[in-house]
Amino acid sequence: MTRTLRFAVLALVAVVLFACGGNAADKLVGKWGIDVEKLGEIEEIKKMPEDQRKAAIEMAKGFATSMSFEFTKDKMIMEAMGQKKEGTYKVTKAEGDKLTIEATLEGKTETLEAEIKGDGVVLGKGKEKFALKRK
């Protein structure tokens, strides 16, 4: 095999492994916005009476366009209503596509849960969770 052909094959293998592989923490890296269409799939939302569920989804639609989360390897950036806040985070536990994250923002540390679901993620704690989609 020629040197160029070997390089091309190795490059192709690397691209395939990178695209298909990676752990859940790596999948979290990127910019995310609220996915209002999937909000109703969260267990806590499903348990709500129909009128409360609809009200929660409508309320989320009101601020969904102005809110985003961005994760780098160690930094978290939150934007909402024109305000941007930066903090740090670290994954303290990973089980499959479920992560426990310790996030520090403005001197306050919170433990958050993240679950990677296909091309989206559910992020939050307790009953305060949002379905997110990549921006």
* Tens digit of each residue's pLDDT (9 = 90 or more) over 62-92: 777 778 999 998 899 989 888 899 999 999 9
Whether 17 maps to a domain, the answer reads no
Q: What is the pLDDT of residues 19-69, one digit of tens each?
A: 334 577 788 899 998 887 876 777 777 888 999 888 877 877 777 777 899
CATH number, domain of 78, equals: 2.40.128
Overall pTM surpassing 0.75 (yes/no): no
4 located within any domain: no
* Residues 52, 11: Cα–Cα separation, whole Å: 52
Domain count, the chain: 1
Range(s) of the domain holding residue 76 = 23-134
Domain membership flag for residue 122: yes
Identity of residue 63: F
Nearest 5 degrees, angle CA 85-CA 25-CA 21?
140
Q: Is residue 7 part of a domain?
A: no
- Asked whether residue 125 is assigned to any structural domain, the reply reads yes
22-to-12, 18, 38 alpha-carbon distances in Å: 16, 7, 24
- For the record, the structure tokens of 86 come out as 């930066």
Q: Decide if 106 is inside a domain.
A: yes
